[in-house]
Structure 1
Amino acid sequence: MDPKELENQIKGMGLEESLAWIDKEFPGTAVFSTSFGLEDQAITHAIYSQNLGIRIFTLDTGRLFSETYELHKRTNGMYGKRIQTFFPDSEAVEKLVNEKGPDSFYDTIENRKECCHIRKVLPLNRALEGASLWITGIRGEQSGSREDLPKVELDQARNILKFHPILDWTWEETKAYVEANGVPYNPLHDKGYPSIGCAPCTRAIMPGEDFRAGRWWWENESTKECGLHWVDGKLVRKKGSQV
């Protein structure tokens, strides 16, 4: 299905309705990737509360916060499900750490991107095998590089449709949905962490800072991305435009 056609089909649908429609149109081939952030918890609830057949998976980099692991456990218990976990290749991680040290990502941007590639991108590629549609928790408000994304796009490198069901939600709307439905969330959100990734690479943000300012804060790049949503080194924003 063409991205524009799919976007027209789900136009006007709410979160639950759009995911239920996706489940019917892409039976067994729609997947959702969660990192257990507030956005992802909202989508997880919408999927599990409707008992949809959308597969949910997460990437365990081996460097996550203890709070994230605890939330993973709580989420599985609340819904009686098992979120599928993908790990990086152990030999690739061993080679990286033995050659460059455990925290090489602080040294150069290239080293950081290499670490993200090994710990996130390659496991993601395995997790997406056999899928035809990938659901994400991206919100346009998170950063300038995401605000112009279409709700449905084509990841050409992986040849998979991407659907961002809460792209136009604000942080306040997302939090209200989670609270109204009694969805567990990461307590780090209440400590100034709107975006939570690996523990060594995430800090709390100051008032007025960008939502993703706490990710790789030591870097000078304005676009803070790990590579999961990049195609050929660029983040696709809308048809005919890249950053």
Structure 2
Amino acid sequence: MNEALSYNTWNDRKAQEVIESLKDYMEVIKWAYATYGEKLVYACSFGAEGIVLIDLIYKVEKHAKIVFLDTDLHFKETYRLIQQMKEKYPLLNIQFLKPELTLEEQSEQCGEELWHRDPNRCCYIRKIQPLEKALAGAEAWISGLRREQSPARAKTEYINKDEKFKSVKICPLIQWTWEDIWTYINLNDLPYNELHDRGYPSIGCEMCTVPAAETGDSRSGRWAKHTKTECGLHFR
């Protein structure tokens, strides 16, 4: 096992040394599993980046733990894709994380269609709280963030101190472009969410996702009727 970077003993100088020693995405993934082993979790939304990362991770650790935040509000196409991925990568440990509240209980406690009235609270209940529990026993987690995705993600490093979840967040694909993602998917004949072919570059819950506007912002279809741009998993 490599000497691990941890949230509680985080050292900026040491982190930078590790980052500079990693030449590319595969070295990042290999370092992550060699360092954290079973204490590493990949939180995957099964978007295009997620499909690429699963394929890359499978080359390094076939029994990797993959968690999917199942809000009960995802598109049927997303659930169908996850089943395809289970069949293609049978050794992966893919887990569905459910919120404590069912949709019915959430409606009773918070009112109906909370995602329309207060999407931040809805994301907190159905995404952030479940991931907090999943990461409670982990030392680090992997994310498919790319710098190109949005201004808020432009300074993401391979290895990040995650203040949100008091953890270490590892992002192997930060330097990949959208074109790189699709080149990899096509060259390797990987399954992907068919909604990508219908104008959805970024796919979240069905109630809060529409096709992206022609602005060059891949996330412009997320919470399109709100000022919200992130679900809260990656930024405070």
Displacement of 1:112 in angstroms is 1.0
Gaps of 5+ in 1: 235-243
The answer (yes or no) to whether the contact 1:32–1:134 under 8 Å persists in 2 is: yes
**Which moves more between the two structures, 125-134 or 202-211?**
202-211
The answer (yes or no) to whether the contact 1:65–1:198 under 8 Å persists in 2 is: yes
Displacement of 1:27 in angstroms is 1.8
Q: Would you say 1:137 and 2:148 are equivalent positions? A: no
Q: Would you say 1:9 and 2:21 are equivalent positions? A: no
SS of 1:18's equivalent in the other structure is helix
Gap change, CA 1:3 and 1:173, over 3 Å in 2: farther
The answer (yes or no) to whether the contact 1:7–1:151 under 8 Å persists in 2 is: no
Partner of 1:34: 44
Q: State which of 205, 210, 213 in structure 1 corresponds to 2:217.
A: 210
SS of 1:26's equivalent in the other structure is helix
TM-align CA RMSD: 1.9
The answer (yes or no) to whether the contact 1:33–1:135 under 8 Å persists in 2 is: yes
The answer (yes or no) to whether the contact 1:29–1:131 under 8 Å persists in 2 is: yes
Q: Would you say 1:225 and 2:230 are equivalent positions? A: yes
* TM-score normalised to structure 1 length: 0.85
AA at the equivalent of 1:36: F
Q: Provide the aligned length of Structure 1 versus Structure 2.
A: 225
SS of 1:74's equivalent in the other structure is helix
Displacement of 1:53 in angstroms is 4.8
Could you tell me how far apart the structure 1 residues matched to 2:16 and 2:197 are? 34
Gaps of 5+ in 2: 6-10
Could you tell me how far apart the structure 1 residues matched to 2:177 and 2:36 are? 27
The answer (yes or no) to whether the contact 1:3–1:152 under 8 Å persists in 2 is: no
Could you tell me how far apart the structure 1 residues matched to 2:87 and 2:67 are? 15
Deviations 1:9-54 (A, max 9, x none): 3544332232122111112111111000000111111111333453
Q: Would you say 1:63 and 2:73 are equivalent positions? A: yes
Displacement of 1:188 in angstroms is 0.7
Identical-pair percentage: 35
Partner of 1:172: 179
The answer (yes or no) to whether the contact 1:37–1:195 under 8 Å persists in 2 is: yes
